[in-house]
Amino acid sequence: MNSEPGWGAISALLIVIAVSVWLGTLAQRAIQRGKFLTGYFLGNRGLGAWALALTATVQSGGTFMGYPSLVYTHGWIVALWIGSYMVVPITGFGALGKRFAQLSRRTGAITVPDLLRIRFGSPAVGLISSLFIIAFMSSMMVAQFKAGAIVMKLSLPGNAALALSEEGGVDPAYYIGLAVFTLTVVGYTLIGGFLASVWTDLFQSVLMLIGVMILFFLVVPLVPGEPMQRATLEAVGNTGPNYAFGPGFSADGRQFLPVGLAFSFFVVWIFGGAGSPAGQVRLMASHDTPTIRRSMVLLAFYNTLIYLPLLIICVASRSILPNLASSDELIPRLSMWATRDIPGGSFVSGLILAAPFGAVMATVSTYLVVIASGVVRDVYLRFIRPHAGQTEVRRVSQGVMIFFGLFSVALNINPVAYLQAIVIFSTSSVAATLLVPTLMAAYWRRATVPGAICAMIVGSATTMALFGAGWWMAWQGYDQEYGLKTAFRPYFLAGLEPIVWGLAASFVSGVVVSLLTRPPDAKLVSWLFDRQPEQSDDSGGRSSR
Amino acid sequence: MPPEDPVLTSSRREALVVLVVWVVATAWSVGYCALAGYGRDPASLTFVLWFPDWVFWGIVAPWFVCIAISLWFALVFMRDEDLGSSADADADGDGLDRPEAEPGHE
């Protein structure tokens, strides 16, 4: 079997880069039609159903890299690990979507801290939330630069390795990858802002769906007989009975997914997604309520066509490629193997390989926009130059993006370690910080400024403390024998992920402190919670059923 | 006291339904898989439509039920509402904020 990606991969990658830059220029034209800040950071509140469905909740980078590797390694139990995606369409859009879109319009907010600041009538709430978001998302973004550089490096002809592995040395190809990745993603985000990020995200999501469908129809029929039964029994024979059951197979005897962690992942994926400012800002940008409803329908089918087929493909691959040394190589190797005999197979496999690259680009682009909007809107315009003109704001926005791009490159000259751990830590922390205050802001009149601040600080502190305790214990040689064995694993208090405790602590402290402090300004609350004079009874054509 | 904002009323009602769906889905999937999918004898394993029996009944079947619920929620239950006009301001005109719109700044 050919073990190198060859020219097909690099050709496909160049096409993805070209399309991304082209989308950036299209986005630039689109945002010129409105005011700069709303256009550049919120796409003039005009996101359609496809863009909203496939970019607000889909965690696409991990979908095409981490998830297949986990299925191949640990077996059918990963179905339970990812199972909560069955409710993501309605939790992602039904819980906060409509209210958030309304509040952001009524207040004119274009960032999440902006909305919190106005809702609570407190610059402190806005500043604290903004600083948390900038800190957590910056660390997440820095880690993604490494991933982008490695995918680019591995796609260069002559590289035998195919996996997004954190191991392996740094060589000139890595720096070429880092340079190309940075120039591309910072470049098109600079040009097109929020819309460029959304459209490239949408593009790679479609690319990923095509890749999964191609793999499904090429791989599964190649397993003779009853494919899944055969593949499962072969895997059980090669590994052990836990490949077919919980808590999943692990070569080192760890419990991959005990029941407590299984429950945790029904919290992680749902509340982690709902608490992400990158997703929340896209809800704020949705065009109208029919858009939100259509997004829900689209996402229900999209998730089904991605996650269930990938589960089948990856278990079936146990029969085709039973002894992969590195499970991270599964999708690249499978794509090359499956397309080896079809015309243009190299290019098709290249397209499949390009999906992770597009996914990482889209992720970085999203974070760049959120971070830049936080710095410009919530810090620069609020505390440094409140009356800055449009030209100045544009320059500062672009300067912030360039700064964070260069900052990320500088930190990756010696690549950051523990990429996956940083991503999980940042995702959990930002959700534990923001979700409860945003829910309080949207639905609870009695929520107060001290309550919101307390919810943020206690939620983040709880999560960080559990991660810190786990890291410290790992260095001391203590191992709970749960989950993945990484050096930066958290402490699973009562067998649960830190985000569960972070959210619980955030919720309790936010509610208790709000009830113990003076009620908020009645006029401000009435403005956001009561019917306003300009509102009519007409609900837009569709009434309650 | 003015009546509650209708968007808030319907959003809260919809959010409560979402919460119930999440609780039921989590309880069913985690509960069923914990009982039927952990620590079993491999000889007892059967397959339903390409999936091990416990994966099918614990994840795949509820997944399709959730698709149906999502369709019902989106196409029948969720209300369309007027989200209001945007109070967007920009840095080139009247400054950063919308002080004229915020009661606290009147």
Q: pLDDT tens digits for A69-123? A: 889 989 999 999 999 999 999 998 999 899 999 999 999 898 999 999 999 999 9
- Pick the residue from chain A with its C-alpha nearest to B59: A83
Average pLDDT of the residues in A453-465: 97
A227 contacts in chain B (CB < 8 Å):
50
Residue A538 pLDDT: 44
Phi/psi of residue B52, nearest 5 degrees: -55, 145
- Output the six-digit token pair for A227: 């494919």
Is residue B105's pLDDT more than 80? Answer: no
- Model confidence pLDDT, tens digit, residues B63-73: 999 999 999 99
- Pick the residue from chain A with its C-alpha nearest to B63: A86
Q: Is B73 inside any structural domain?
A: yes
- B17 to chain A nearest CA, in Å? 9
Contact check, Cβ <8 Å, B18/A45 = no
Contact check, Cβ <8 Å, A443/B12 = yes
Residue A544 pLDDT: 35
Q: Is B44 inside any structural domain?
A: yes
Work out the percent of chain A whose per-residue pLDDT is above 90: 37
Residue A113 pLDDT: 93
Residue B96 pLDDT: 43
- Model confidence pLDDT, tens digit, residues A296-332: 999 999 999 999 999 999 999 888 888 877 777 788 7
* Structural domains of chain A sorted by starting position, each given as residue range(s) with its CATH number in brackets: 6-529 (1.20.1730.10)
- Report yes or no: A87 and B25 within 8 Å, Cβ to Cβ: yes
Strand partners, A482: A255
What is the domain extent for residue B19?
6-80
- Output the six-digit token pair for A111: 């960032």
User: How many domains are contained in chain B?
Assistant: 1
B66 contacts in chain A (CB < 8 Å):
86-87, 89-90, 300
Least reliable range by pLDDT among A202-216, A316-330, A398-412:
A316-330
Mean pLDDT of the residues in chain A: 85
| pLDDT confidence bin for A541, thresholds 50/70/90 | very low
Greater confidence (A162 vs A48) lies with: A48
- Rounded Cα distance, B54 and B39, in Å: 12
- Pick the residue from chain B with its C-alpha nearest to A377: B96
Average pLDDT of the residues in A438-467: 96
A442 contacts in chain B (CB < 8 Å):
11
Partner residue opposite A108 with nearest CB, options B22, B75, B101:
B101
Q: ipTM for the complex?
A: 0.88
- Taking residue A387's Cβ as centre, other Cβ atoms within 10 Å add up to 10
Partner residue opposite B15 with nearest CB, options A79, A94, A246:
A94
- Rounded Cα distance, A484 and A260, in Å: 14
Contact check, Cβ <8 Å, A106/B87 = yes
- A165 to chain B nearest CA, in Å? 30
Is residue A2's pLDDT more than 90? Answer: no
Is residue A60's pLDDT more than 70? Answer: no
Contact check, Cβ <8 Å, A259/B29 = no
B10 contacts in chain A (CB < 8 Å):
98, 539, 544
Partner residue opposite A270 with nearest CB, options B22, B29, B50:
B22
- Pick the residue from chain B with its C-alpha nearest to A98: B11
Partner residue opposite A106 with nearest CB, options B33, B51, B84:
B84
Q: Is B94 inside any structural domain?
A: no
- Rounded Cα distance, A534 and B6, in Å: 13
Residue A91 pLDDT: 93
Partner residue opposite A99 with nearest CB, options B7, B66, B85:
B7
Work out the percent of chain A whose per-residue pLDDT is above 70: 90
Contact check, Cβ <8 Å, A293/B26 = no
Least reliable range by pLDDT among A386-395, A419-428, A461-470:
A419-428
Interface test with B, best of A32, A42, A82, A99 (most B CBs within 10 A): A99
Residue A142 pLDDT: 82
| Residues near B23 by beta carbon (within 8 Å), at least 6 away in sequence | none
- Report yes or no: A328 and A164 within 8 Å, Cβ to Cβ: yes
Is residue A343's pLDDT more than 60? Answer: yes
| pLDDT confidence bin for B47, thresholds 50/70/90 | very high
Is residue A59's pLDDT more than 60? Answer: no
Average pLDDT of the residues in A481-485: 77
B57 contacts in chain A (CB < 8 Å):
none
Contact check, Cβ <8 Å, B102/A83 = no
- Pick the residue from chain A with its C-alpha nearest to B34: A259
Q: Is B101 inside any structural domain?
A: no
Interface test with A, best of B44, B60, B63, B77 (most A CBs within 10 A): B63
Smallest CA-to-CA distance from A499 within A303, A258, A281, A263 is with A263
- Rounded Cα distance, A164 and A177, in Å: 13
Q: Is B106 inside any structural domain?
A: no
Is residue A230's pLDDT more than 50? Answer: yes
Least reliable range by pLDDT among A48-52, A86-90, A456-460:
A48-52
Q: Is B62 inside any structural domain?
A: yes
| Residues near A73 by beta carbon (within 8 Å), at least 6 away in sequence | A249, A250, A251, A327
- Model confidence pLDDT, tens digit, residues A7-17: 777 788 888 88
Interface test with B, best of A33, A106, A310 (most B CBs within 10 A): A106
Length of chain A: 545
Greater confidence (A511 vs A407) lies with: A511
Least reliable range by pLDDT among A146-155, A194-203, A363-372:
A146-155
Contact check, Cβ <8 Å, A121/B104 = yes
- Output the six-digit token pair for A366: 């999203």
| pLDDT confidence bin for B99, thresholds 50/70/90 | very low
Highest mean pLDDT: which range of A140-154, A255-269, A525-539, B82-96: A255-269
- Rounded Cα distance, A54 and A335, in Å: 23
| pLDDT confidence bin for A159, thresholds 50/70/90 | low
Is residue A461's pLDDT more than 90? Answer: yes
Q: Is B30 inside any structural domain?
A: yes
Q: Is B10 inside any structural domain?
A: yes
Distances (CA, A) of B18 to A92, A251, B69, B74, B103: 9, 38, 10, 11, 32
B74 contacts in chain A (CB < 8 Å):
89-90, 293-294, 296-297
